[in-house]
Homo-oligomer: A and B are copies of this chain.
Amino acid sequence: MLNAVGRDIPNELDGRKLKPFKGAFSFKPKKRLYAPPMKAVFPGEEKLISLKEAVKKFVDDGMTISFHHHLRNGDAVVNMVVNEIAKQDIKDIKLAPTALFPVHEGLKEHIKNGVVTAIEGSLNGPLGEFASYGNIPHTVVLRSHGGRARAVRAGELHVDVAFLAASMADDYGNANGMFGKSAFGAMGFAFADSMHADRVVIVTDNLQPYPIAPISISQTFVDNVVVVDSIGDPSGIQTGTMRITRSPARLNIAKNVVKFLAKAGLLKDGFSFQAGAGGTSLAVTKFLHDYMKAKGIVGDFVMGGITGYVVDMLEQGTTKRILDGQDFDLRAVESIGRNPNHVEVSHIDFGDPHTGGCIVNRQTACFLGATEFDLNFNVNVNTHSDGLLLHGIGGHQDAAAGSFVTIIVAPLLRGRIPVIRKEVTTVSTPGETVDVIVTDRGIAINPRREDLIEAVKGKMEIVEIEELYKKAKSLVGEPKEPNFSDEIIGIIEYRDGTILDVVRRLK
């Protein structure tokens, strides 16, 4: 069964029936939201318990437990909870983190021992590689940020217990990520889980008198509160990719993005965009800010992944508001705690397609990376050309589907590896939602977007995507195909729950 991006999707896999992807806006849900059980905490009942007690009280063999990844590579909560689960000899756990990082590599031991047998969530680095070689018993499921929120709300990703790290909480479970020694800023990933997990445990290293403010997660959603020494190291939020690129080629890509937006007539009052991390995206943000400031343009909002570069825009008046689901550096964390125009939003708000309308729908533009893109404008952000599953989808699908103009920023080559392919190794985001590809060796526009082609005609050099392909081929030839077996180790869900692609085991 070939889906709408030409991938062969099995009818059933690992006990789950799969619906093939039929187009970015072809599926409207008829279901109801998942309804968690009602709680009843009466006056006088206390909610503070130890992690040991929380695991004993709520976790059992075969359950699904969830986490957010706001502390990214500094997170200590996933390891702490899974270690406690292992200690209590509980087996066959499905992990449903929003994302895992190199810091979670120790989970490999728990997978080998049968404590963890399934992961649904973004796999960044070593655990992705581990999955690529078939080491995780169940098929891993990757979802976009908005798609995961949707899946939790739909009950397709049913969470038995959510363990939600908070850098500030009170003993009744009101929680935020904005203050405290481990402050990480917006808590966008935690909202869907707090509202739809059957049980919710706040894990904090900063207990403050009741009631704290601001209240990101309300006490009413929380079963218990666990106090630990440290939920992690917030310096792990800011990884190496959070600096503006110094590569002249990539700086040139960033300049061309701004030039394209200006030539297309989109850079005017009201402009909004999705910011991201990564050296090129950061450069785009910086150059946009400079351009808008010079021209006196005031944008409506920037949606993030927020960095200090976006905080500059708010503070210097090139955007009116920041909508913030997660923070990528400590300047952003500091800003959200004090600026009322720096607004915390959930990842339901950000990108859940099965709502009354998510924020991405209102973005003028977004700038997204790629490990590969292809002649159909399909984009891969999950696997590398060698087939290794090394990254999550992030907000890629969501931003691409929602934004008026989706711009992929990528070099044409990475060393001797072409980024442009005839067909991407893995379809992470369908080409029908990708509009412009800005490389260091030319800009291509998706032929579906005649309006954009028309808008920049004669103002800027645009090339056919086939030309980019030929250029890459002439420089480095065809790349080696990955050494895949037939076995499927991962599913790439589209944000609406249909299946975009599968990832196969490497030999």
Contacts and interface: CB of A to CB of B under 8 A. Distances in A.
Contacts of A301: 210-211
A28 interface: yes
The 8 closest A-B pairs by CB, nearest first: A41-B357, A220-B355, A35-B35, A32-B35, A43-B361, A29-B38, A38-B354, A28-B40
Interface string A211-235: 1011100111111000000000000
Contacts of A360: 43
B172 A353 contact: no
Given A29-B38, A32-B36, A154-B38, A215 B357 contact: no
B321 A355 contact: no
Interface string A370-406: 0000000000000000000000000000000111100
Contacts of A211: 300-301, 321, 323, 343, 359, 362
A34 interface: yes
Given A209-B270, A211-B300, A343-B213, A355 B39 contact: yes
A240 interface: no
A222 B34 CA distance: 18
A349 interface: yes
Interface string A20-35: 0000010011111111
Contacts of A402: 43
A26 B220 CA distance: 19
B38 A172 contact: no
Contacts of A248: none
B220 A349 contact: yes
Contacts of A214: 340, 343
13 contacts: A32-B35, A38-B355, A39-B356, A40-B355, A43-B402, A43-B403, A172-B361, A211-B321, A213-B321, A213-B341, A214-B340, A214-B343, A222-B357
A213 B340 contact: yes
A28 B41 CA distance: 9
Among A39, A346, A404, chain B packs the most CB atoms within 10 A around the CB of A39
A345 B222 contact: no
B38 A348 contact: no
Contact of A355 (B31, B43, B209, B221): B221
Interface of A: 25, 28-45, 47, 153-154, 172-173, 200, 209-211, 213-215, 218-223, 270, 300-301, 320-321, 323, 340-341, 343, 345-346, 348-349, 352-362, 401-404
A28 B37 CA distance: 11
How many chain copies does the complex carry? 2
A134 to B, nearest CB: 35
Given A211-B362, A219-B355, 7 more contacts: A32-B37, A39-B357, A41-B361, A211-B321, A211-B343, A211-B359, A219-B359
Contacts of A209: 270, 300, 320
A361 B39 CA distance: 14
Nearest to A221: B356
B42 A361 contact: yes
A275 to B, nearest CB: 15
A356 B173 contact: yes
A47 B356 contact: yes
Contacts of A44: 361
Given A215-B343, A220-B358, A321-B211, A31 B42 contact: no
Among A209, A222, A346, A360, chain B packs the most CB atoms within 10 A around the CB of A209
A44 to B, nearest CB: 8
A346 to B, nearest CB: 8
